[in-house]
Amino acid sequence: MAGNRIRNAQLRSKIMTADQAAALIPKGSNVGMSGFTGAGYPKEVPLALADRMNAAAAAGEKFKISVWTGASTAPELDGALAKVDGMEMRLPYQSDPICRKRINAGEMEYLDIHLSHVGQFVWGGYLGKLDVAIIEVVGIREDGSLIPSSSVGNNKTWLDCADKVIIEVNNWQNEALEGMHDIYYGTQLPPKRKPIPMITASDRIGETCLRCDPAKIIAIVETHSPDRNSPFTPPDENSKLIASHIIDFLGHEVKRGRLPKELLPLQSGVGNVANAVMEQLQDAPYDNLMAYTEVLQDGMFNLLRSGKMSFASATALSLSPEAAEEFNRDVHLYREKIVLRPQEISNHPEVIRRLGLIAMNGLIEADIYGNVNSTHIRGSSIMNGIGGSGDFARNSWLSIFMTPSQAKNGAVSCIVPMATHVDHTEHDVQVIVTEQGLADLRGLSPKKRARVIIDNCAHPYFKPALNEYFERSVKYSHGQHTPHILDEAFTFLPEWQADKAAQDAWKEDSLVQADAWK
Ligand code: COA
């Protein structure tokens, strides 16, 4: 029945259609939307807004807004708004193909920020004023507080900072989600900051609901739709090999007494490879695993279901349609095992450092010295964004990056002489894993890192060329700490591989230059 989930009688008067709510959003506004890795994003108001933008374009008017979220959303939000060219600026992480196209065509601004920094940037006022927040919840309590949905992301910050608030109450999400969240209200700006009182991943330090001043709520829209819930591809051979190298390595660390037998809390990044590692932990000899992560995908959900994992802290669920159905049906079974927190806490450097996580994230390319590019193709076009990978890589106890050794059906090596863009410097990258093997870089100087990365991680097809580049760099580079021949450093790009004459010309030039430096 309409309004069932809206237990505050006064707020029931704000119920309206998505079109009516979208009509309240001014042109040019900064709009903070809920949503994190396809979970908990508003399902109807962004679509209605896209219709309004379309109508404006047909009338010869421009109607754009800036969109701030927790992380990636779904076709109904990023896709719909990008399609009608309705976004002036977008932040932070996104993974929508239409959005990506517009950003790389120079038609849309994109701010790729560490996920833990977004809240404090907004509080600090660096991004301008937040005009409107559009937040999905599963219900509104009698006292007007909001029961969060399948992600928390930046919702607390948006609700605190926005002038006006539009709420979507999604009846599809199970009401029994109430109680699964932990919203911490103790963060401050410097110099007033105090320690965040979290000692283990399962600690609860906040409230179960989001506070919101009822006077700011201008519209409530009722919806009934599941989250995006993309299916995961079954682990391929490469993912299985990557997972088994990681599990062998963790076993080795336990044997050496460098990790406890239940490991340390796990952080697992987005995507199929990360999911495959979690799947394979099912058969590994570890019990009582814990997670302190950003996103909870199927692999981790299965570990919770089987009892191998006792607790997971995240900011969002990112489940396949089957797992989402199961979770939604059996929320009561997971209430004591999962907590969803604001992303400023799930990704907080202080907490990550204190808990001592094992972080596992994907990469686009790593160079032979261990610098990692997670975001850019050929140094210039964005893939998705840095997301939380920097928060975790810099501050975890153990920072692992994983990738197949080659991309684009073998045309491109993911191990390159010099990364074309660097998100994670050699100082933050401790282990690199491909299906070929694992490079433990801890305690190694750059030239030793290069040998172990090429030997253990590069694909056999690219290994001779990488070795050759490295050997010649050692001979001819300007300095011997991190040897490079800059003119050749990017010759692994596909267009260079195809252009033998250009490569030879550069090679000759670089030798002349190297001689001059000697
Ligand atoms: N050159 C060109 N393209 C490359 C490439 C390279 N060296 N390496 C990967 N790619 C392409 C793949 O071909 C694929 O393209 P497609 O979608 O057109 O097929 C795409 O990048 C994704 O690669 P894939 O191998 O499927 O890996 P993935 O799904 O694990 O994603 C990242 C890898 C790096 C893109 C992804 O992990 C990411 O966005 N990371 C940054 C954010 C992050 O780490 N978040 C987690 C923190 S909690």
**How many angstroms does the Cα of residue 364 sit away from the middle of ligand 1?**
5
CA distance 225 to 45: 13
State yes or no: 271 annotated in a binding site: yes
3-state helix, strand, coil in the chain (%, to 5): 35, 20, 45
Determine the pLDDT at residue 503.
Answer: 54
Residue 473 near residue 446, CB atoms below 8 Å: no
**How many angstroms does the Cα of residue 288 sit away from the middle of ligand 1?**
30
pLDDT band at residue 494 under the 50/70/90 scheme: low
Query: Which range is least confidently modeled, 43-47, 53-57, 326-330?
Result: 326-330
> Is the pLDDT score of 9 beyond 70?
yes
State yes or no: 242 annotated in a binding site: no
Which residue numbers are catalytic? 294
> Is the pLDDT score of 502 beyond 60?
no
Report the pLDDT averaged over residues 136-150.
97
Report the pLDDT averaged over residues 374-382.
96
Residue 12 near residue 6, CB atoms below 8 Å: yes
> Is the pLDDT score of 181 beyond 70?
yes
Query: SS3 of 95, please?
Result: coil
Q: Radius of gyration (Cα) for the chain, nearest Å?
A: 24
Angle at the Cα of 158 (from 157 to 161), degrees rounded to 5?
A: 80
Provide CB contacts within 8 A for 208, sequence distance 6+.
147, 178, 179, 180, 181, 182, 183
Domain ranges in the chain are 11-223, 357-478+486-517
Q: What is the dihedral sign for C-alpha 430, 282, 309, 37?
A: positive
CA distance 44 to 28: 20
- Extract the tokens encoding 148: 């969060």
Topology of 11-223 in CATH? Glutaconate Coenzyme A-transferase (3.40.1080)
pLDDT band at residue 518 under the 50/70/90 scheme: very low
The residues with which 416 forms a beta bridge, in sequence order, are 367
Angle at the Cα of 262 (from 347 to 281), degrees rounded to 5?
A: 80
* 357-478+486-517 CATH choice from 3.40.1080.20, 3.90.580.10, 3.40.50.2000, 3.40.50.620: 3.40.1080.20
Percent pLDDT > 90 in the chain is 88
Determine the pLDDT at residue 517.
Answer: 42
- pLDDT tens readout for residues 246-294: 999 999 999 999 999 999 999 999 888 888 899 999 999 999 999 999 9
- Extract the tokens encoding 245: 């190298």
pLDDT band at residue 214 under the 50/70/90 scheme: very high
Among 364, 371, 378, 496, say which to mutate for ligand 1: greatest number of ligand atoms within 8 Å of CB: 364
Of ligand 1's listed atoms, the one at least distance from the Cα of 403 is 25
Of ligand 1's listed atoms, the one at least distance from the Cα of 267 is 48
429, HSE (Cβ side, Cα atoms, 13 Å) = 29
Shortest CA distance to 323 belongs to which of 309, 334, 312?
Answer: 334
State yes or no: 364 annotated in a binding site: yes
- pLDDT tens readout for residues 432-473: 999 999 999 999 999 999 999 999 999 999 999 999 999 999
- Extract the tokens encoding 364: 């686009």
- pLDDT tens readout for residues 385-412: 999 999 999 999 999 999 999 999 998 9
Q: What is the dihedral sign for C-alpha 161, 39, 137, 131?
A: positive
pLDDT band at residue 510 under the 50/70/90 scheme: very low
What's the pTM value of the predicted model, to 2 decimals? 0.94
Report the pLDDT averaged over residues 341-369.
98
CA distance 451 to 433: 14
Q: What is the dihedral sign for C-alpha 217, 218, 221, 226?
A: negative
Residue 298 near residue 321, CB atoms below 8 Å: no
- pLDDT tens readout for residues 307-318: 999 999 999 999
Determine the pLDDT at residue 161.
Answer: 98
Shortest CA distance to 382 belongs to which of 143, 128, 101?
Answer: 101
State yes or no: 408 annotated in a binding site: yes
Query: Which range is least confidently modeled, 139-148, 298-307, 332-341, 501-510?
Result: 501-510
pLDDT band at residue 39 under the 50/70/90 scheme: very high
Question: Is the Cβ atom of 362 under 6 angstroms away from ligand 1?
Answer: yes
Report the pLDDT averaged over residues 69-79.
97
Determine the pLDDT at residue 515.
Answer: 53
Among 36, 246, 270, 466, say which to mutate for ligand 1: greatest number of ligand atoms within 8 Å of CB: 270
Residue type present at position 304:
L
Query: SS3 of 350, please?
Result: helix
Question: Is the Cβ atom of 273 under 6 angstroms away from ligand 1?
Answer: yes
Of ligand 1's listed atoms, the one at least distance from the Cα of 268 is 48
Tell me if domain 11-223 and domain 357-478+486-517 are identical in fold: yes
Determine the pLDDT at residue 229.
Answer: 81
CA distance 89 to 173: 30
Residue 39 near residue 296, CB atoms below 8 Å: no
Report the pLDDT averaged over residues 127-152.
97
> Is the pLDDT score of 83 beyond 70?
yes
Element (H, E) at 165: strand 164-170
CA distance 276 to 192: 42
Q: Which residue is closest in CA terms to ligand 1's atom 19?
A: 408
